[in-house]
Amino acid sequence: MSQDFETKGPKERKASFGFAAVDESAKQGLVNAVFSRVARNYDLMNDVMSGGLHRLWKSDFVSLLAPPKSTVPYALLDVAGGTGDIALKALEVAGAGTRAVICDISAEMMEVGRARGARFGDRLTFVQGNAECLPFCDRSFDAYTIAFGIRNVTHIDTALAEAFRVLKPGGRFLCLEFSTVEVPLLDTLYDAYSFNAIPALGALVAGDSASYRYLVESIRRFPDQKTFMGLIENAGFERARYRNLSGGIAAIHSAWRL
């Protein structure tokens, strides 16, 4: 007897995990395993891989955020905040009215952040959560930041919609992320460095090349500057713009919920 129907259920949608295509439902678990492995060496590896450049990019990012220096209440949400670089820099330059919440899916990354941020007492809090389903009420924050985080989420559009939802009208969206190099020759050099040196440094310093290969591959899978700006606008944000850092190795996208 012939069988004229499909016996398997519908195929699951795929997501990219670096250069690999994985079932959408599997991606976040794979990402979480990466950050659980790298948490202890994360800050050191950032310095080693970038020669300290990430510190300049993050300083630029926080300067652009410009949290108030006064005692006026100001609520910052740093999503995928990990070990705390952005929230800690923001609290260092802000006045006493600024409070920051780091929301990250990885308990291990936030554990490092907690130790680093203890000096800020109750001005800094940590909440475990997923950027795609934030555990906060609508219109709760004056600013939403995400640095080197959105590349890791499974559905970028859902994370952006969540950013829009939790911002107050008049709230600021700022994203720092690896992007597409727009300077000829630098792109070739950067490719050679990232595909060869970064996994090797991961092996040498952290005993883990696979996680750093994921880093390099995930950067290549992330939309370029203009495409990402379009996604930000699609989420409802206005006055979206971007600024390249180091020729487009990274970029800062900013926008407003008006």
Instruction: Write the single-letter amino acid at 99.
Output: R
Q: Does 101 bind ligand SAM (CB under 6 A)?
A: no
- The answer to whether residues 37 and 215 touch, using CB atoms and an 8 Å cutoff, is no
Nearer to ligand SAM, 65 or 109 (CB): 109
How far is 212 from 32, CA to CA, in rounded Å? 14
- Name the minimum Å distance from CB 1 to ligand SAM: 47
Nearer to ligand SAM, 62 or 131 (CB): 131
Q: Does 105 bind ligand SAM (CB under 6 A)?
A: yes
Q: How many residues bind ligand SAM (CB under 6 A)?
A: 22
Q: Residue written as tokens 């993050």? A: 58
Stretch near ligand SAM under the rule CB under 6 A, chosen from 5-13, 78-86, 178-186, 226-234: 78-86
Q: Does 162 bind ligand SAM (CB under 6 A)?
A: no
* String of contacts with ligand SAM for each residue 29-68, x by CB under 6 A: --x---x---------------------------------
3-state SS assignment for residue 61: helix
Q: Does 199 bind ligand SAM (CB under 6 A)?
A: no
Q: Does 131 bind ligand SAM (CB under 6 A)?
A: yes
Q: Which of 89, 98, 130, 163 binds ligand SAM (CB under 6 A)?
A: 130
- The answer to whether residues 212 and 201 touch, using CB atoms and an 8 Å cutoff, is yes
β pairing state of 141-147 and 250-257? unpaired
Helix ranges restricted to H, 183-243: 186-192, 198-206, 210-221, 225-234
Torsion sign across C-alpha atoms 190, 195, 200, 203: positive
Nearer to ligand SAM, 28 or 180 (CB): 28
Total length of the chain: 258
Query: Angle formed by the axes of helices 53-65 and 42-50, to 10°?
Result: 100
Interacting residues with ligand SAM (CB under 6 A): 28, 31, 35, 79-83, 85-86, 104-106, 109, 130-132, 147-149, 152-153
